[in-house]
Structure 1
């Protein structure tokens, strides 16, 4: 057989083989990577204090650490309430001190002098009554005079007893019940002051964590209602990848399983571990789940966290998982 015919035959076989291989690969099912995206913990920082934004210390893109001052709110009404609470606290403390200390020495001396005065009056009334009684016995004065003297003596004795009781009360000071009530009022006033002070301190908002400022919603001079977010920040140290997995593929994902994910924006791979699988599924809206078997399958959210910090990772970056 001529050599050229052999070469032509071999070439034909090679071409036919190549065409067959090409057709085989063309009709072979292609493995499609699963696409997810990066999410991270976001914080919306708001204040319990309504008022006007006084200062904003950060801008979008700034990095902050925990306890950095983010913004402050000016509230004249709250400052007025603080003054009222301070005045109430001081008044309650003064009343408690007065109850604990008791009457002043001048008041005790005055009560003693009133008692001595009443005592002297009672002694005089008694002497007068005895004289009138003697005269009555001799028939010199009428019974009416004797009865009047007796009544005046009895009244003087009661006045002396009342004055002595006031003197003793001044010496003893306030009753225990009065002291307890004064102590309770002082405690209530202190609690009211702490409550107002706590709310006022919330007008100076500090960062709860280290992160990056993603948005500043209000500027100095603008009114802010209670609970309205002024600054938003994200913690990229608390980031994860989220995938929407069809239920027929869910068995491939179990908690603790490691995967290598490709991050196109960073042009690199990173190790991630499944840490959460949603307990409730949703009908797919991200991509069609029709299987041709007359029913739609649900999708489940699967979260994966990086095993180590990934530099330059950003929220919204795509991640690819090749099954």
Structure 2
């Protein structure tokens, strides 16, 4: 009788299936900040790099020119600040007056164009865009006239403190432009943000890389993970942080991974894992980080987890 009962129970307490899964990678897509021609490529597919190693560089001609121009503009403004202590000479006042005349002429022209645009748009003879542009030009020329008027008045009044303050603000702006130019030049060279393996390279030397497009993908060891699928009735046996053993072809013995994510939705077994045992099962996706040897794992590589990690549902209660 006991033998028959044990046989019946064995139908309900079948050994947990081998947990199937595969290796996944969260890739770093490394690309330029701005578009430009690729002039250097320091790595190849499959290379392993350390953090800070050079990856690629773009053409720096324009960035170097912009930095040089910013430096010259700063030197000019600093010279102008030093000259303010000498007082306004007649020649300088004449130059201020000339710029003021130019500003007034520009405002008169934009004012006339604004009136013409309003008339044409009102009669339907011109698109609204023309009026919008005329308004912007008028506002620009008005601001320029205000600026030149202020400079001329200050020159007449000899308000040295105001001029010095304004010039220092201009110098601060020029220094900010130098910082931006230096940053743009530095961005033309990219280094590895983390150590890892170069997986794919999408552009070669001589090709123009669009802004935002990756030149290569990098896979750091800490972004390699094991994904496996647990039958829905057994998922309660797992917990975050739990260390689970797994095996794969060519892997060293004793591989383990810590569970970092347990899915909250049930799904059918993914097609890539279809088998006679799994094809009709509802499973839950579980992710785990390898505790060692992640560099030896490759995304897409199949893995098996020991079914012993699952606590078989207690059946003794059913027999009592």
Task: Indicate the residue corresponding to 1:275 in structure 2.
Answer: 260
Whether contact under 8 Å (2:27, 2:223) holds in the other structure is: no
- Cα distance change of structure 1 residues 244 and 25 upon mapping to structure 2, 3 Å threshold: closer
- Cα distance change of structure 1 residues 281 and 217 upon mapping to structure 2, 3 Å threshold: same
Deviation of residue 311 (structure 1)? 6.4
Q: If you compute each CA radius of gyration, which structure gives the higher value, 1 or 2?
A: 1
Equivalents in 2 of 1:26, 1:303: separation in Å? 30
Relative to the length of structure 2, the TM-score reads: 0.63
Question: Which among 282, 290, 294 is matched to residue 306 of structure 1?
Answer: 290
- Cα distance change of structure 1 residues 30 and 282 upon mapping to structure 2, 3 Å threshold: closer
Equivalents in 2 of 1:79, 1:277: separation in Å? 50
- Cα distance change of structure 1 residues 192 and 311 upon mapping to structure 2, 3 Å threshold: closer
Q: What do the CA deviations read for 1:108-158 (whole angstroms, capped 9, x no partner)?
A: xxxxxxxxxxxxxxxxxxxxxxxxxxxxxxxxxxxxxxxxxxxxxxxxxxx
Following superposition of structure 1 onto structure 2, how do residues 146-295 of structure 1 map, counting pairs within 5 Å?
175-266=160-251, 268-282=253-267, 284-286=269-271, 287=274, 290=280
- Cα distance change of structure 1 residues 96 and 65 upon mapping to structure 2, 3 Å threshold: same
Matched residue SS, 1:52: strand
Name structure 2 gaps, 5 residues minimum: 1-8, 90-153, 308-320
Question: Which among 33, 49, 53 is matched to residue 64 of structure 1?
Answer: 49
Task: Indicate the residue corresponding to 1:118 in structure 2.
Answer: none
Deviation of residue 80 (structure 1)? 3.3
Deviation of residue 243 (structure 1)? 1.5
Relative to the length of structure 1, the TM-score reads: 0.62
Whether contact under 8 Å (2:244, 2:258) holds in the other structure is: yes
Equivalents in 1 of 2:285, 2:11: separation in Å? 32
- Cα distance change of structure 1 residues 41 and 176 upon mapping to structure 2, 3 Å threshold: same
Following superposition of structure 1 onto structure 2, how do residues 38-117 of structure 1 map, counting pairs within 5 Å?
38-99=23-84, 101-103=85-87
Deviation of residue 54 (structure 1)? 0.6
Whether contact under 8 Å (2:24, 2:227) holds in the other structure is: yes
Deviation of residue 259 (structure 1)? 1.6
Equivalents in 2 of 1:311, 1:230: separation in Å? 22
Task: Indicate the residue corresponding to 2:141 in structure 1.
Answer: none
Deviation of residue 77 (structure 1)? 3.4
- Deviation larger for 203-212 or 311-320: 311-320
Whether contact under 8 Å (2:50, 2:194) holds in the other structure is: yes
Is 1:315 aligned to residue 299 of structure 2?
yes
- Cα distance change of structure 1 residues 276 and 102 upon mapping to structure 2, 3 Å threshold: farther
